[in-house]
Structure 1
Amino acid sequence: MNYATQLRKFTTSQYIYSAIRISLAIVVPSIILAYFGLLKEYFLFPLATSFVGLTDQPGPFIRRRNALILAVISFFFVALVASFLKNYPVLIYLEIIFFGMFFSMIGIYGQRLAAVGSLSLVVLGIFIDGHLSGENLVHSLLIFFAGSVLYLLIFLIVSKIQPYKLAGQMIGENYLELADYLTIKSKFYQPNADFELLHSQVISQQIKIKNLQEETRETVFKTRKIVNESTTTSRLLMLMFLNSIDLHEKLMTSESDYRKIQESFGDSGFLTSISIYLSKISEELSNIGIALQGGTKAKPIYKIDQELSEIFEQYFDLRSQRLNAENLEDFMILRLILVRITDITDEIKTIYKVFTQDKKLAKSLSTGLDYRKFVTAEEKINFKVLRNNLSLKSSHFRHSVRITVALLVGYAISKLSFLGIGHSYWILITLIAIMKPAYSTTKHRNLLRLYGTVVGAVVAYLILYFIDSSTVLLAILLFSMILCFTFLKVRYFWAVLFMTIYIFLTFNFLNPGNVNLIFKDRILDTAIAGLVAFAVSYFVLPVWEHTQNLELMQKTAKSNLNYFQAAMDIFQNENANIQDFKLKRKDAIIDLGNLSDNFQRMISDPKNQQKKMELVHQFVNTAHLITAYIASFSQYSKKAKDYPEIDFASWNRKISAELLRTALILNQKKYHRDIVEDSQLKPEDSVEKLLEKRKKEILENEISNRRDPNRITRLTELKNLREILELIYDVAKEQRKCAEKLEPEIQSTIVKQ
């Protein structure tokens, strides 16, 4: 591992940038207040700033601004109501029910409002018993409101000064995730590769890339300055993001029969050279991503042209030594792997050229795309959407009920005097942080919260025991706060660990010498909240992942069919709509990512809720392969007319029919025998004849040692095209059989063959 690169990734990321902004917004006013001896009295000021800062989700400026304004208003309203009802126990429980349901339900309008809702419930927990508000409610509420407004003002100022910063960081993160993806791919060429583990890692990485691309699309395509401004920076950022999406498709095309390749060439050492080269290309992508995050220009690390030339020389040496009629097809596969690697290399070279910020290049950028169509639609904020989700059929409604029940139980437990809980609101805050719509996510965060709290409490206790210097403690507090906010979305255990440390230090500043009570309360409250969260998630209207499988499979099957037909249309039709193809590609990758994500969560569900696990796993794997093979097919620059030896019309009907059969089975719809007949067509290709002819030539004649990296024989192209079409069909057929097994009760209504 290159630790210097990892450090640069970390220090230039949007996460630490946001964490430093929030931390300084909290700490600087706190230091000023402490200097004048007012920190205890005005403690709610930095606390409010932190709450509003945590609702600031990446995205377009207008949406972020509106969400922050909503957060300021919501927090003040919740604090106001909670403060005035704190002495009325019956009304407090009604308050929990109303706020619990409402602020959980607004999550139907997207992650931004879900964050506002969750933090509003945290505010409720803080003010519910008046522990921190004191006796002068008006004074406390005004302080809290002022602290909320502070972060909004800081956001507006920073956004004005650095309008492109977030977009650059998010685009850079896309390249870093692509680099990790390529690193995984490189390991398939290493000796003794664990293919099952690597395939699992590929699927996990695809999920990360899908989620990040969706967030980045919203930020880039919906930010006026990025899309509409004619500045060099805005156009170059747009170009860099579009290139990252195209590069992702190229990386997906690298699917091959790795076992067969290892059997044929594993002993030659050539595959190890490919693995090393791909690792270097991965480093180049990381270098580009870090430069984008940091707002600097990237320069190549390696002489990739020279490195690639050496790879080709090794290939030609191997070819001249081993090529014969029996292994001709194996060498064709190897040659095409080098074609894909060359394409990826060329893409990276183009990206480096963009970093020269050539103004002519920037100004000539005109994709002709309607960007609005590439952004995943969010639910419009209207009452109808909310009303339609007020049903037990809605996963959002069921989650809201679970959150509300958990808060009611948690609050009731906190009032049990024999437990001697000193910071009861920690139970409520922990419940809100742990509980998520998916049981598996709740279970995972529950464990991480417990481990992080225990370790963090022990570390904080030792810090306070051995260190007396206020200056050193303040530095540790600031450092812990920054790391907590940095890791909150990506490393929850570490976020909780550092959160616990800075909470201990904060309370020590406010009330020195009380560390033993804080230690006991923190551990006890976390344990209680963990038990409540587990029980409620398991027993109260749970939504198991297997219940989502069918709908996600339906979407994936449909989007892969549309993706294939769009790719075939581009291939056969000179005037095909490139935007339609890119939209279909986007839908296929998003639906595939959602299905894979759901399957990963299903693994963490109780064993009795892991319905048909093996079949679902098989369906997910075949869906990945189909998408990857379609991506390979779509990479050909030539058109169908250039390959008359292949019957593309029949292949189109054959594959489309097989993909359609799967979609119809999953939707429990009948299909006509004509579809079955189409799926069994035998395309009239002449590739096999040409291949046999070439093998005969190799047997009869000496093999030429022509070493031209840019030359690919027509037969190699034909063989690859035919093989890709066969692979798409074979995997589609395997997926269709899997779909039939998934829904045996509906097979009587379907014509099967």
Structure 2
Amino acid sequence: MNYSAELKKFITSQYVYSAIRITLATVLPCLVLANFGILKEYFLFPLGTSFVALTDQPGPFIRRRNALTFAIISFVLVAMIASLFMNIKILVFAEIIIFGMFFSLIGVYGQRLAAVGSLSLVVLAIFIDGHLTGADILKSLLIFASGCTWFLLIFLIVTTIQPYKLASQMIGENYLQLAEFLKIKANYYQKNPDFDKLTTQVIAKQIEIKNLQEETRETVFKTRTIVNESTTTSRLLMLMFLNSMDLHEKLMTSESDYQKLQQSFEDTAILVKIHDYLNLLSEEMTNIGISLQIGTKAKPISNINEKLDHLNHDYFELRNKRISPDNFENFMVLRQILMRINEITKEINDIYKIFSQNVKLAKSLSTGLDLRKFLPNEEKLNFKVLKNNISFSSSHFRHALRITIALLVGYLFSLFQFLGIGHTYWILITIVAILKPAYSITKKRNLLRLYGTIAGAVIAYAILHYIHINQILFTILLLSMIMCFSFLKGKYFWAVLFMTIYIFLSFNFLSPGHVNIIFRDRIVDTIIGAVITSLVAYVVLPVWEHTQNLDLMKKSAECNLIYFQTVISKFLEEKFDIQEYKVKRKNAIIALANLSDNFQRMISEPKNQQKKLEVVHQFVATSHLITAYTASLSQYVKDNEKYPEIDAEGWSRKIEAEMQKVFHLLNGDKITETLNMESRIEPEDSSLDSLILKRKTELTEHESYDLRDPNKISHLTELKNIHDILELIYDVAKEQRKVIENYQSERKNEETTQPIPQQS
């Protein structure tokens, strides 16, 4: 592992940048207040700042500004109502019910408002017992509101000074994810690869890339500054993002029959050399990503063109020594892989040219795309959407009920004085932080929160026991805050660990000498909150992932079919719309990632809820292959190239029939005889067979050509690869159909073997 690059990736990421901004926005007022000796009295100011800061999700400026404004209004309103009625227990229970349902339900409008809703419930937990407000409620509320508004002011100043910073960092992260994706793909070429493990890693990485692309797409396409502004920077950033999308597809097109490839070339070093070169390209992509995150011009870290020349030379040397009538088709496959590697290398070289800040290139940029078609779907902010989700069939409504019931139980628990619970809000905050719509995520966060809290508490206790110099303690507090906010999105255990440390240190500065009480309360309350969350998540209207599988499988099958139809249309000499193609490609990748993500969550659920796990796993694997092979086929869609030797119509009808069978089976429809006949069509690629036979004859007669142009590929090699890809798509679609047929027959057998209830 390149630890230097890993450290740079982390330090220059949007998460660390955001964490430093939040930390400074929170701590600087503390220093000023401490200087005047009034920090304890005005502690709600930095608290309000940190709460609003945590609702700031990546995205377009207007959406972020509006969400922060809504967060301030919600926080102050919740704090005011909670403070005014904290002594009237019946009204406190009413607050929990109303706020719990409303702030959980607004998650239907997307992650941004879901974050505001969750933090609003944390504010409710903080103010519910009046522990922090003191006697002067109005003064406390004004201080809290001022702290909330302070972060909005910081946000407006920073985004005015650096309007492109977030977009640049997010695009950079796209390249970093693609680099990791390429590293996984490179491992298919190492000695004795674990194919099942690598396939699982590829699918998991696809999920991460899809989620990141969705966030970046919204930030880039919806930000007026990036899309419409005629500055060089804005246009270059747009170009960099679009290039990352195309590069992602090129990486997907490298899908091959790796097991056959390993068998064919296991006694040579060529595959290991490909592995090493792909890792080299991965390092270059990492370098590009880091440069984008920092905001500097990227320069190549190695001479990839020279290394590519060596790789091509090694291939041609091996080919000319070993090619024969028996193995020349294997060399065709390998030649095609090298051609893809050449294209990826060219793409990386072009990206480095963009970094030269070529003004003419930037000004000539015109995507020709209707960018609205590429934006993620987001619910409109209208009451009808909220109203339609007030139903037991809505997963959002069920989640809102779980949150509300858990908060009621947690608050009720805190009222039992004999338990010795010190702070009501720690139980409630634990519940809000852990309880998520998906049971699997709740279960995982529950454990991570518990382990992180215990580990953080032990470390903080040791720090406070052995270190008594305030300057050192304050430095540790600052670093802990930065690390906490940096890890909050991706590494929850570490986020909780550092959060616990800075909370301990914060309370020690405010109230020195009470570390034992804080230690006990924090751990006990976290355990209580975790137990309540576990019980409620399992018992109260859980939404199991297996209930989502069928719809997601249908969506993936449909999107793959449309994606294939769009690509094959070019071979049928139909009108090819590049914009429509890119939209269909996006939809297929998103549908596949959603299905894969759902499957990964199902694995973490109780065994009795992992319904048809093996079937779903096989469907996910075959769907991934169909999407990848279709992407490979799309690389032959060229305006100046025709392939009349391929029976495109025959293959189109054959493959589409098989894919439609899958869709019919998933919908519970009978497969028509027409579809059965279409899927049995034998495409007439006789001219291709003749060309292959001719080439075999040439090789038998020792007519081997020493072709050494790495940028050119023979027409026969292209034809053979197109034929192989079409064959692979058909075979995988057929395998997928058999998976669903077996599933349907098993389900029918289960239904028929169930005992019939006796009539009374």
TM-score bracket, shorter-length normalisation: over 0.9
Distance 1:638 1:683 in 2: 22
Aligned counterparts, 1:324-363, within 5 A: 324-363=324-363
User: Aligned equivalents of 2:539 and 2:260: distance in 1?
Assistant: 48
Q: Which aligned pairs between 1:147-296 and structure 2 lie closer than 5 A?
A: 147-296=147-296
Cα shift readout 1:178-206 (whole Å, capped 9, x = no counterpart): 00000011111111211111111101100
Could you tell me whether the CA contact under 8 Å between 1:640 and 1:648 is conserved in 2? Answer: no
Separation in 2 of the partners of 1:210 and 1:744? 34
| Contact map agreement 1:592 1:624 (CA 8 A) in 2 | yes
What's the secondary structure of 1:707's corresponding residue? coil
Tell me the equivalent position of 1:589. Answer: 589
Match of 1:642, SS state, is: coil
**1:518-529 pair list within 5 angstroms:** 518-529=518-529
Q: CA deviation at 1:670?
A: 4.0
State the one-letter code of the partner of 1:430: T
Q: CA deviation at 1:522?
A: 0.8
Alignment of 1:60-459 (within 5 A): 60-459=60-459
Question: What SS does the aligned partner of 2:735 have?
Answer: helix
Checking the alignment, whether the CA contact within 8 Å between 1:19 and 1:483 is kept in structure 2 is: yes
Paired residues of 2:342 and 2:711 also in contact (CA < 8 A): no
CA distance in 1, matches of 2:596, 2:366: 34
Offset at 1:108? 0.3
8 Å CA contact 1:104, 1:403 repeated in 2: yes
Shift, 1:673, TM fit: 2.1
How far apart are residue 569 of structure 1 and its match?
2.2
- Judge conservation of contact 2:571–2:643 (CA < 8 Å) in 1: no
Task: Give the C-alpha shift of residue 574 in structure 1.
Answer: 6.6
CA distance in structure 2 between the aligned counterparts of 1:400 and 1:745, rounded to whole angstroms: 36
| Cα distance in 2 for residues equivalent to 1:146 and 1:314 | 67
Stretch deviating more after TM superposition (411-420 or 490-499)? 411-420
The equivalent residue for 1:737 is: 738
2:754 aligned partner: none
| CA deviation after TM superposition for structure 1 residue 689, in Å | 2.6
**Residue type of the partner of 1:469?**
I
In the TM superposition, 1:636-715 aligns within 5 A as 636-638=636-638, 642-686=642-686, 687-715=688-716
Assess if the C-alpha contact under 8 Å between 1:571 and 1:639 holds in 2.
no
Distance of 1:405 and 1:43 partners within structure 2: 30
Conserved? CA contact 2:570–2:637, under 8 Å: no
For each residue in 1:155-214, what CA deviation from the matched residue of structure 2 results, as whole angstroms up to 9, or x when unmatched? 011111111000000000000000000001111111121111111110110000000000
The answer to which of 501-510 and 709-718 deviates more is 709-718
Inter-partner Cα distance in structure 2 for 1:543 and 1:324: 58
Whole-Å separation in 2 of the counterparts to 1:308 and 1:719: 24
User: Who is 2:28 aligned against?
Assistant: 28
1:479-628 paired onto structure 2 within 5 Å: 479-573=479-573, 575-628=575-628
* RMSD after superposition: 1.3
Which amino acid letter does the alignment assign opposite residue 140 of structure 1?
S
TM-score with structure 2 setting the length: 0.97
The answer to whether the 8 Å contact 2:487/2:494 transfers is: yes
CA distance in 1, matches of 2:222, 2:609: 40
One-letter identity of the residue aligned with 1:453: T
1:624-675 per-residue CA deviation (whole Å, 9 max, x = no partner) reads 0000000000111435972111110111111112112211221223453222
For the 8 Å contact 1:668–1:746, the answer to whether it is kept is no
Letter in 2 for 1:695: K
Q: Distance in 2 between matches of 1:376 and 1:711?
A: 38
Distance in structure 1 (CA, Å) of the matches to 2:267 and 2:650 = 40
Q: Shift of the alpha carbon at 1:330?
A: 1.0
- Write the distance in 2 (CA, Å) between the matches of 1:460 and 1:501: 5
Amino acid at match of 2:697: K
Contact 2:342 2:710 in 1 (8 A): no
**Counterparts of 2:545 and 2:307, CA distance in 1:** 46
Q: Deviations over 1:328-373 (max 9, x none)?
A: 1111111111011111111101111111110111111111101111
Deviates more, 1:319-328 or 1:346-355: 319-328
* Distance (Å, rounded) in 2 between the aligned partners of 1:227 and 1:742: 47
Aligned residue type for 1:157: I
* Bigger mean CA offset, 507-516 vs 569-578: 569-578
Aligned partners of 1:401 and 1:577: how far apart in 2?
Answer: 47
Matches of 1:491 and 1:618 in 2, distance apart?
29
Identity within the alignment, %: 65
**Contact 2:569/2:575 (CA < 8 Å) preserved in 1?**
no
CA distance in 1, matches of 2:578, 2:164: 28
User: 8 Å contact 1:572–1:640 — kept in the other structure?
Assistant: no
The Cα shift of 1:746 comes to 8.8
Deviation at 1:84, TM superposition (A): 1.0
Q: Name 2:719's counterpart in structure 1.
A: 718
| 3-state SS in 2 of match to 1:100 | helix
Q: CA deviation at 1:745?
A: 8.1
Q: Is the 8 A contact 2:567 2:637 kept in 1?
A: no
* In 1: Cα distance, 2:546 partner to 2:37 partner: 56
Residues 442-461 of structure 1: per-residue CA shift (max 9 Å, x gap): 01111110111111001100
Letter in 1 for 2:577: N
Alpha-carbon displacement from aligned partner over 1:274-326 (angstroms, at most 9, x marks no partner): 10100000000000000111110000111111100100111111112211111
CA, structure 1 residues 669+369, in 2 after alignment: closer, same or farther (shift >3 Å)?
Answer: same
Contact kept in structure 2, 1:626 and 1:732, CA below 8 Å: yes
Q: For the Cα contact (< 8 Å) 1:646–1:722, is it kept in 2?
A: yes
* Residues 571 and 640 in structure 1, CA contact (< 8 A), matched pair in contact too: no
Q: Secondary structure at the match of 2:636?
A: coil
Structure 2 contact 504–518 (Cα < 8 Å) conserved: yes
Deviation at 1:48, TM superposition (A): 0.4
Task: Compute the displacement of 1:724 (Å).
Answer: 0.6
What is the identity, as a one-letter code, of the residue corresponding to 2:723?
A: R
- Structure 2's unaligned 5+ residue stretches are 750-760
2-structure distance, mates of 1:439, 1:504: 30
Matches of 1:47 and 1:549 in 2, distance apart? 42
Equivalent pair of 1:75/1:123 in contact (CA under 8 Å): yes
The 2-side partners of 1:741 and 1:265 are apart by: 36
CA distance in 1 between counterparts of 2:66 and 2:624 reads 38
Deviation at 1:676, TM superposition (A): 2.1
Q: Is the 8 A contact 1:572 1:639 kept in 2?
A: no
Alpha-carbon distance in 2 for matches of 1:631, 1:167: 27
Between 705-714 and 521-530, the greater mean CA deviation after superposition = 705-714
The answer to whether the aligner puts 1:460 opposite 2:463 as a matched pair is no
User: Given the two structures, how large is their TM-score scaled by the length of structure 1?
Assistant: 0.98
Separation in 1, partners of 2:256, 2:652: 22
Please tell me the residue identity of whatever aligns with 2:144. F
Deviates more, 1:393-402 or 1:685-694: 685-694
Paired residue secondary structure (1:743) = helix
- Aligned-residue offset at 1:740: 2.2
- Give the match for residue 758 of structure 2: none
Shift of 1:418: 1.6
